[in-house]
Amino acid sequence: MKTIKVKDYEEMSQKAAEYIIKKVRNNPKITLGLATGGTPVGTYRNLIEDHEKNGTSYKHVTTFNLDEYVGLPQENPQSYRSFMDNNLFNHIDINKTETHVPNGNKETLHTECKSYEKTLIDHGGVDLQVLGIGSNGHIGFNEPGTSFESKTHIVDLAPSTIEANSRFFESEQEVPTQAITMGIQTIMNSREILLIVSGENKRDALFQLLNGEEVTESFPASVLRNHPCVTIIADEAASANIKYGI
Ligand code: F6R
């Protein structure tokens, strides 16, 4: 794993965007795997600024998002479809039909999971997957205990995830308790991974990822150590207690 230490959230966002822009310019037909949540908002803002200023085009780019809540209408402002539209897709020249987010409102959620996985495979897989990390070590919504062999599936969100994500809702009761997420194997199949980490509340998770003793399903992000091409961009607040490797 390659680690890049930066000063703060702004620098992480800038460096992550530069990384993505370079890949898009080198391969205008790239398939990006994308994350939601607080961490990538600044990265997406930098992508938009660059698109407006330098004209980087996303016309031929395809995207697959990691996850979506179960039971929230896509138009709900807190759905991950709305998040992606509002924070990125509506502001760049991407073809919306090539932006894939699981649909957490299908009656047959298992069929939706299978079809999401199949669409991704038929498309040739993800070239560059952008990831955040949960303070419990989740990647996507693969909570501790998820099999490393998992493909796109339905998950019960961990109480700590519901609590962490309640900041985006009026109250904790409004946070959906389930989600559809790419599985760990789905994520590991991406050709390249960019993990962005910011803030003191991620310090323990980053420490365990870089300095922890073992690769274990009880700490999902540890699987990234088995991936041949991972870059981590982490800010000082997140990496303060890292003893080596960053
Ligand atoms: C979001 C996702 C999650 C988040 C993680 C960190 O699509 O898959 O794994 O990356 O929960 O969330 P933030 O960035 O809000 O701290």
Phi, psi dihedrals of residue 112, rounded to the nearest 5°: -60, -40
Q: Is the pLDDT of residue 245 over 60?
A: no
Atom 4 in ligand 1: residue holding the nearest Cα: 132
19-39 CB burial, b ≥16 within 10 A, e <16? bbbebbeeeeebbbbbbbbeb
pLDDT, tens digit (0-9, with 9 covering 90-100), for 171-205? 999 999 999 999 999 999 999 999 999 999 999 99
Q: Is the minimum distance from the CB of 199 to ligand 1 under 6 angstroms? A: no
Percent of the chain predicted with pLDDT > 90: 96
Q: Is the pLDDT of residue 105 over 90?
A: yes
pTM (2 d.p.): 0.97
Instruction: Give CATH for domain 2-239.
Output: 3.40.50.1360
What is the pLDDT at residue 175?
95
What is the pLDDT at residue 242?
79
Q: In angstroms, what is the span from residue 110 Cα to ligand 1's centroid?
A: 23
Tell me the two tokens of residue 89.
């897709």
Q: Is the minimum distance from the CB of 132 to ligand 1 under 6 angstroms? A: yes
Q: Taking residues 140-163, report their average pLDDT.
A: 97
pLDDT, tens digit (0-9, with 9 covering 90-100), for 52-61? 999 999 999 9
Q: Are 150 and 185 in contact (CB under 8 A)?
A: yes
Q: Is the minimum distance from the CB of 38 to ligand 1 under 6 angstroms? A: yes
| In the chain, domain spans | 2-239
Q: Is the pLDDT of residue 244 over 60?
A: no
